Amino acid sequence: MPRKITPETFAAQAGGSIDKETGAIVAPIHITTTFERAPDLSYPKGLIYARPDNPTVAQAEGVITALEHGEKTLLFGSGMAAAVSLFLSLPKPAHIIAPTVMYWSLRNWLATEAAKFGIEATFIDTTDTDLVARTVRPGETKLVWLEVPANPLWQISDIAAVAAIANWAGAALAVDSTCATPVLTRPLKLGADVVMHSATKYLNGHSDVIAGSLTFADGASDLCTAAVKLRGQHGNILGPFEAAMLLRGMRTLHVRVAQQCQTAMTLAAALKDHSRIAEVLYPGLVGSPGHALATKQMTGGFGGMLSIRIASGEAAAIAAAARLHVWKRATSLGGVESLIEHRASIEGPGTPCPPDLLRLSVGLESVDDLLADLDQALIGNT
């Protein structure tokens, strides 16, 4: 009996399954919408119709389940679809606690749409564990939502401490772990009930698939059952071609993330003393507010995301971004190409993001090229 393989090996082999018909190392893409019934009307393979179930999607789900040490994963057509489906799966009325600083579109949904569905959202600084304890309402709070590290300031909430509070209050804890990736943090092992990913980002890693996932812990079966039902009804499951792309992307997840962490750390260290930069936000920097907790909670690095605040303000930040060549100005993150974004202008009014901030998603280019490009762009501000 071989010893139990690690998630790293599992991901590299896309679950390790060899196609039984052909011996193919890379599984075929199942595009069928429907599955044959037996003469007695049963479904011998357990598959009925592709709105609830697809074998290619299931293969990708199996890899994410192994990476997250979960019980079951559901893939959706986007990260937003995954997160909103979880919110809609909660018993109503539902009070949700969410971070003030979190992925902006999701925060917007909670702030402006959720009430129509019997959901009341309270936004707080979830890095303040005592504040979470004071805000949670036993019996009423159905979900505590964390994002770690939190976009775009990269604050670190204490997943294990918040899990204990949520558990005490009878609420589920879900963590948007998109930027940590399963390589750097395993929220379910820290007591969370659900992990969400925008698989559009690091899991796929090549900026060519929109996808999202929910992975449920062993004990979160009620929520999982509700989400399975909802996805089957709404049909917001990932398509098989996207699932196959995602499977390919995840084969290199560990090496990509390891390199991105290393490059991000080098950039953060080099930029923190740059004359045109007021502050570098990166949990890997000693002295950053989340550093001690991140050291305890994360393994193998501090992620490929960092933000810089430009000393002379918003106009200088936008001008610096305009002078870049290697870095591409675009939203999104977690791809092999480095992206930079002026977050405040895309988030719009009411954003907690400072106007002088540029968000950096570190790709796989040479660190020397990335640094030289940033340096010339920053120095251009005379």
Ligand X SMILES: *Cc1c(COP(=O)(O)O)cnc(C)c1O
Residues 322-341 that bind ligand X (CB under 6 A): 333
User: Which listed residue (95, 107, 186, 201) binds ligand X by CB under 6 A?
Assistant: 201
Q: What residues from 231 to 290 belong to the interface with ligand X (CB under 6 A)? A: none
Point out the residue whose Cβ comes nearest to ligand X: 79
Give the C-alpha separation, 374 to 162, whole Å.
37
Is 108 or 122 the residue whose CB approaches ligand X more closely? 108
**Least CB distance to ligand X at residue 148 (A):** 10
Distance CA 172, CA 227 (A): 14
Quote the least distance from Cβ 143 to ligand X, whole Å: 15
Q: What minimum distance in Å lies between the beta carbon of 131 and ligand X?
A: 21
176 near ligand X (CB under 6 A): yes
Query: Within 10 A of 2 (CB to CB), how many other CB atoms are there?
Result: 4
Window of 174-182, 274-282, 335-343, 363-371 that interacts with ligand X by CB under 6 A: 174-182
- Which residues between 78 and 97 bind ligand X (CB under 6 A)? 78-80
> Per the structure block, which two tokens stand in for 346?
């895309």
User: Segment 103-142, which members bind ligand X (CB under 6 A)?
Assistant: 103, 106
How many Å apart are CA 267 and CA 327, to the nearest integer?
Answer: 13
Nearer to ligand X, 107 or 276 (CB): 107
Question: For residues 27 and 195, which CB has a smaller minimum distance to ligand X in the complex?
Answer: 195
Whichever of 277 and 357 has its CB closer to ligand X, that residue is: 357
Among 86, 166, 210, 360, binds ligand X (CB under 6 A): 210
- Residues 6 or more apart whose CB falls under 8 angstroms from that of 272 comprise 280, 285
* Angle between the N-to-C axes of helices 367-379 and 314-322, in degrees from 0 to 180, rounded to the nearest 10: 130
Q: How many residues does the chain have?
A: 382
* DSSP-derived secondary structure letter, 161: H
In SS3 terms, 262-283 reads as HHHHHHHHHHCCCCCEEEEECC
Does the protein bind ligand X through residue 200 (CB under 6 A)?
yes
Q: Is 198 in the site for ligand X (CB under 6 A)?
A: yes
Encoded one letter per residue, x for contact with ligand X by CB under 6 A and - for no contact, window 3-42 reads ----------------------------------------
User: Is 307 near ligand X (CB under 6 A)?
Assistant: no
The one among 152, 212, 304, 352 contacting ligand X by CB under 6 A: 212
Placement of tokens 């670190």 in the chain? 156
Binding region for ligand X (CB under 6 A) out of 51-59, 77-85, 127-135, 337-345: 77-85
Task: For the CB of residue 101, give the shortest distance to ligand X in the complex, in Å.
Answer: 11
Stretch that binds ligand X, among 12-20, 193-201, 276-284, 313-321 (CB under 6 A): 193-201
- Kind plus residue range of the DSSP H or E element containing 130: helix 129-135
Query: For residue 170, what is the enclosing H or E element?
Result: none
Q: What whole-number distance in Å separates Cα of residue 374 and Cα of residue 221?
A: 47
**205 is a site residue for ligand X (CB under 6 A):** no
Residue with tokens 């009620």: 222
Paired tokens of 150 = 């939190």
The CB-of-181 to ligand X minimum distance in angstroms stands at 11
- Please report whether residue 149 would count as binding ligand X according to CB under 6 A: no
Is residue 98 involved in binding ligand X (CB under 6 A)? Answer: no
Collapsed DSSP state (helix, strand, coil) of residue 124: strand
If you count DSSP H runs as helices and E runs as strands, how many of each does the chain have, helices first?
14, 12
What does 37-69 look like in DSSP terms, one character per residue? Answer: PPTTS--TTS--BTTT--HHHHHHHHHHHHHHT
Give the footprint of ligand X on this chain (CB under 6 A): 78-80, 103, 106, 147, 151, 176, 178-179, 198, 200-201, 210, 212, 333
